[in-house]
Amino acid sequence: MDAPATARTAPATRSAEGLGGLTNPRVYLSLIALSLLLILPLVSGSSFLIHVAVTICVFAALASAWNIMGGFAGQLSLGHAVFYGIGGYGTALLIKHFGLSPWIGMWPAALLAALVGAAIGYPCFRLRGPFFTLATIAFLQVTRLLAIHFGDVTGGAAGLIVPLNPGWAWMIFYEKVNYLYIAFGLLLLALGASWWIRNSRLGYALIAVREREEAALAAGINNSGVKLRAVMASAGLTALVGAFHAMYLTFLEPETMFSLTLSIEVAMYALIGGIGTVSGPLLGALLVVPLAEAARGWLGGQASGLHGFVYGAALVIITLTMPAGLVGTFGRRIGGWIDRLPGGGAAPAVAPLLPPRPVEGRAGETVLEGRNLVRRFGGLVATNDVSVTLRRGEILGIIGPNGAGKTTLFNQLSGFLAPSSGTVAVRGPDGEMAAPRNPDEFARLGVGRTFQIVQPFGKLTVLENIMIGAFLRHSGVAEARAAALRVARQVGLEELAEVEARNLPIGGLKRLEVARTLATEPSILLLDEVMAGQSQADTQRMVALIRAVRDSGVSVIAIEHNMHAIMSISDRIVVIDSGRVIAEGEPRAVVRDRAVIEAYLGEDYVDAQGL
């Protein structure tokens, strides 16, 4: 027997968020490298170098902001200049018409951009892949045309000059170096926001939604909600940078403020550096901005367009040779070297293993009920008037031939499919029966489900996969990690905690599927063929695990083709054939039922079992 979970501690593991403060070489080297961006131009005193550094800071900040939506949330926008332009125009117009300092005006402009981001994003999230990207371009073009059309306000195609009041209060300077201080501050803000989001519950949720929307829903993540938060943060940050850049350029026109080229450039920096990583957008800008500026400076005068050609060719070579970006290509190796420096590889604080939340309720009461469930797919009736009841503390087995409608029934019992007719009710933590409508609502009420075709978050580690489930009940990263470690230990994945999920064999993936679901601390567990593809030893462990989970008060429904296993764990079995329940009852009685033998088990099974 294990000691009480609270008395034990989780083993130390490495992860991005456990950097261990300033003594960690990843942190101090990043800070040193960043400060060079400020110090080198200052020491040189060259106004060209200062301009290049300001441009790097601006584009690195824009790319970091873009990456929150394009990288973490996987929503590839090529219309981000909408927010940049709103930031620039909003701030300039507030100075011009209301005499508001840009230090103040940039905030309402950022708020407006965040709201516009939400208004554009919400309807567009339904669009997939290139269609989403095309929609963002369309919104950008419409905004640019509107800015030209409403010339009375924006200055139209002729443009708008920012009121030139020198001094810190108005963000207008004769010495370029002051711009560098502000640009550097904005870069720190964007990087800080990006780092914080990536290492928070929101960051994990965004990655989960990006990788596998269904598994994210099953873990109780509100997909639209988290994407909306990402787009608002991304748009707001972009607008802040746009506001500053407008003050730096001192001239705004729709062509440059709502520019498709700028939107593409910003996305390119993130792609080149490493999309979905915190440092990638900065590295992309660090590499490409000086290249672009140098090409413009050296070749611009030689032949018209030559600098663009050289710059474009360099981009093509980089993207072709490093499709995963700089961080994806070199990050792991360089990270390994850095970790060998003093203070490297520091483990995060050791957290106590969290016990699961207790499941409360009366033994034997109904916890999940599907009534008269009909689900049609065109002319096919996949479930035809199916009624099932799950009682507290029981294991209900569901068997039947391939295509009988078992998974379709599961999808209705967990909110993934709306029944064509019939109802599903779940007993919530308050003891009342409720009728949730969405998968995330089902999950929050305590319904956890696995998928027949496993849905791992391949690029996350085993532990991070389980943490995605644990975040449903624990908002803090340390608590979610501790809860995930307890589950990893429970399902026998502790040794593989730091392995990327895509490297697991099918047996491990099945266990991971169960672990992620268990981490949501369900009171009702729906298992869809979790023993398929498992070795005999793994099957026995899974059987023992399901029993232990039931003994902790969780009610279980298991779809299974492994008759030996399902017979040994089930208190009751329901048999489905052609969308209808053909038998229901105590396992030994069900396998003797003639209809079940004819539809599913066959005479061979009867002979083999000596029934």
Ligand X SMILES: Nc1ncnc2c1ncn2[C@@H]1O[C@H](COP(=O)(O)OP(=O)(O)OP(=O)(O)O)[C@@H](O)[C@H]1O
Q: What is the CA radius of gyration of the chain?
A: 29
Residue 420, Cβ neighbours under 10 Å: how many?
14
Choose, by CB under 6 A, the member of 75, 407, 534, 539 that binds ligand X: 407
Binding window for ligand X (CB under 6 A); candidates: 89-97, 208-216, 402-410, 533-541: 402-410
Of residues 422-461, which lie at the interface with ligand X (CB under 6 A)?
452
Choose, by CB under 6 A, the member of 163, 225, 336, 403 that binds ligand X: 403
Residue with Cβ nearer ligand X (406 or 510): 406
Work out how close the CB of 218 gets to ligand X at its nearest, in angstroms, rounded to a whole number.
17
Of residues 366-395, which lie at the interface with ligand X (CB under 6 A)?
377, 380, 382
What lies within 8 Å, CB to CB, of 585 at 6+ separation is: 572, 573
Choose, by CB under 6 A, the member of 123, 402, 430, 607 that binds ligand X: 402
Using CB under 6 A as the binding rule, whether residue 530 contacts ligand X is answered as no
Tell me how far CA of residue 11 lies from CA of 3, 6, 354, 604, in angstroms: 15, 14, 13, 49
Residue with Cβ nearer ligand X (473 or 510): 510
- The helix/strand/coil state of 557 is strand
What value, to the nearest 5°, has the Cα angle with vertex 392 and ends 387 and 394?
Answer: 80
Work out how close the CB of 525 gets to ligand X at its nearest, in angstroms, rounded to a whole number.
17
Residue with Cβ nearer ligand X (321 or 402): 402
Work out how close the CB of 453 gets to ligand X at its nearest, in angstroms, rounded to a whole number.
9
Work out how close the CB of 382 gets to ligand X at its nearest, in angstroms, rounded to a whole number.
4
Residue with Cβ nearer ligand X (21 or 379): 379
Binding window for ligand X (CB under 6 A); candidates: 32-40, 293-301, 406-414, 431-439: 406-414
Work out how close the CB of 527 gets to ligand X at its nearest, in angstroms, rounded to a whole number.
13
Burial of 244 (0-12, 13-18, 19+ CB in 10 A): buried
Question: What is the C-alpha to C-alpha distance for residues 511 and 501, in angstroms, rounded to an integer?
Answer: 11
Work out how close the CB of 533 gets to ligand X at its nearest, in angstroms, rounded to a whole number.
13
Using CB under 6 A as the binding rule, whether residue 406 contacts ligand X is answered as yes
Using CB under 6 A as the binding rule, whether residue 412 contacts ligand X is answered as no
Burial of 98 (0-12, 13-18, 19+ CB in 10 A): exposed
Work out how close the CB of 376 gets to ligand X at its nearest, in angstroms, rounded to a whole number.
9
Work out how close the CB of 468 gets to ligand X at its nearest, in angstroms, rounded to a whole number.
25
DSSP 8-state code for residue 556? E
Residue with Cβ nearer ligand X (336 or 403): 403
Burial of 474 (0-12, 13-18, 19+ CB in 10 A): buried
Binding window for ligand X (CB under 6 A); candidates: 178-186, 275-283, 396-404, 603-611: 396-404
For the residues of 322-337, what is the DSSP string, one character each? -TTHHHHHHHHHHHHH
Q: How many residues bind ligand X (CB under 6 A)?
A: 12
Work out how close the CB of 371 gets to ligand X at its nearest, in angstroms, rounded to a whole number.
18
**Tokens, residue 209:** 């939604």
Work out how close the CB of 576 gets to ligand X at its nearest, in angstroms, rounded to a whole number.
7
Residue with Cβ nearer ligand X (45 or 379): 379
For 604, half-sphere exposure in the C-beta direction (CA atoms, 13 angstrom radius) is 2
Using CB under 6 A as the binding rule, whether residue 400 contacts ligand X is answered as yes
Choose, by CB under 6 A, the member of 41, 155, 254, 405 that binds ligand X: 405
**In which region does residue 161 sit, left (phi positive, over 0), alpha (psi from -120 to 50) or beta (all else)?**
beta
What is the crossing angle of helices 280-299 and 306-321, to 10°?
150
Using CB under 6 A as the binding rule, whether residue 408 contacts ligand X is answered as yes
- The helix/strand/coil state of 385 is strand
What long-range pairs does 532-536 form, CB within 8 A, spacing at least 24?
A: 532/452, 532/561, 532/562, 533/506, 533/507, 534/507, 534/510, 535/507
Binding positions for ligand X, rule: CB under 6 A: 377, 380, 382, 400, 402-408, 452
